[in-house]
Structure 1
């Protein structure tokens, strides 16, 4: 099994799974779930029996990478984040996809993570004879869990921690995670990646270039939406100029954990609805009035929190008055 050609049945099986699940029929969150659960576990049995050549690991990772971003061998798509960011744990600012490792080259891989083999497991002579000790655990006992935690460690993200909310659909969480870093297909970001556009101006206000923070927060259209949401929630985010500032402000405004999560869910829904309205304007030439967008946010977030949350029972009448009153 040292030759890549011996792994062809595994690679073909992997490719067949990818073909069966057309990436264009799934949202970003759906593709993320698929490569984490189904595709991530597909070759596990074979990898537990045989040492995979480095070329095989790279081929499988490229296939997962292309599928996540909706690309294929025939059709290229923009990869908005490096694969290293995608596989990083969520606590480190990634998506927590995980990665397969070439066990044959573990020493080289450990060094690339600044982990010495000696710290993982070393032989120590004692009065009672030789014993093994790991510096990764406080008790000196080696565990796969301790090594995994050390392997997954990433320096603190300059963008700050992102709050993943289970009351909000995964595709919406992923969108906000990308938008905070400006990695959504707005005009400025597309132009940076070589996409030729007729104009970089925001299609919602026609006043400034379209960036992620502008179209979702600073744009006159977005501000009208947030004014209505702020009156509904009885909070104020008028001074916020970026997506991160809105998230941080809302997290501090909620009184108690449940209310903070509820308020964040509402504002995540606002970002998502504004983006959908922007897409309707760009692709269908349809301008949705801000009042209608506010109604969309109220109904969508009511369904999300009602069916996904565990904050107790509440009615539409209570929710429509203020989402923090139930």
Structure 2
């Protein structure tokens, strides 16, 4: 079994190198270049065929050897942040979370597309996390707590890109990223709590929950640092 698998991978690598030499891998990131219709429109064709069949291993082989960056920017993954939270923020950055607007566009029946925290705007990703009065008040509390002048961002992507370029101290930047991700996660949990449990928590209560949650994250994921709760409350960016 292992010998057959090894032979198949050798064929894939050989075929992959041959297609790359022939120029078949140009613009491979574009979906229409991975698999497409022939000119007659009678069948599908692809540059990633092995023995006449589409081969996922050939596509992966090419992706792993790609030397270009994804044009959408770099998402910063941190071991201080739980993986499920990082995945959620990553999806929110791309506007790929199940907000009421997103579900409605996909034909899913929702009770209302109004955001439950303010009922003054539609439940889109940007309104839910950046523009709602409830959210703005929460962000102002977080900025003041971190000793940062309150800022306004047009999108989550812009916020994360700004944080990735802020300061020269990696630990402080990672701490700030953890706080931001904790805030986004806390807002989402509060939103779900309102919808599914009819619990309407104030922005102050959500803020206090975010501070406690992120403190636990860093305390159990960072090996060295000052874990005194009182010091964390005073100055989080100088906590680690």
Would you say same fold, with TM above 0.5? yes
Contact persistence 1:168–1:265 (CA under 8 A)? yes
Q: Which of 113, 123, 128 matches 1:200?
A: 113
Q: Which of 152, 167, 173 matches 1:260?
A: 173
Q: Secondary structure at the match of 1:260?
A: helix
Deviation at 1:104, TM superposition (A): 7.9
Deviation at 1:114, TM superposition (A): 5.3
Q: Which of 89, 94, 116 matches 2:21?
A: 116
Contact persistence 2:183–2:210 (CA under 8 A)? yes
Q: Which of 225, 229, 238 matches 2:151?
A: 238
Deviation at 1:237, TM superposition (A): 4.4
Q: Which of 116, 133, 150 matches 1:220?
A: 133
* Residue-by-residue CA offset, 1:131-158 (whole Å, 9 max, x unaligned): xxxxxxxxxxxxxxxx958635275333
Give the structure 2 partner of residue 290 of structure 1. 203
Matches within 5 A, 1:125-136: none
| Distance of 2:62 and 2:235 partners within structure 1 | 41
Give the structure 1 partner of residue 70 of structure 2. 157
TM-score by length of structure 2 reads 0.74
| Distance of 1:260 and 1:219 partners within structure 2 | 26
2:9 aligned with 1:49, yes or no? no
TM-score by length of structure 1 reads 0.56
* Residue-by-residue CA offset, 1:40-83 (whole Å, 9 max, x unaligned): xxxxxx4x33349xxxxxxxxxxxxxxxxxxxxxxxxxxxxxxx
Contact persistence 1:168–1:304 (CA under 8 A)? yes
* Residue-by-residue CA offset, 1:198-249 (whole Å, 9 max, x unaligned): 3222121112221112211222111111111111101134221211122122
Bigger RCO of structures 1 and 2 (CA < 8 A, at least 6 apart): 2
Aligned pair count reads: 203
Q: Secondary structure at the match of 2:236?
A: coil
Matches within 5 A, 1:1-326: 46=1, 48-51=2-5, 103=9, 106=12, 110=16, 115-116=20-21, 151-153=64-66, 155-326=68-239
Q: Secondary structure at the match of 1:209?
A: coil
RMSD: 2.9
| Distance of 2:19 and 2:102 partners within structure 1 | 33
Deviation at 1:311, TM superposition (A): 4.6
The change in CA–CA distance for 1:114 and 1:166 in structure 2 (over 3 A counts) is: farther
| Distance of 1:109 and 1:192 partners within structure 2 | 41
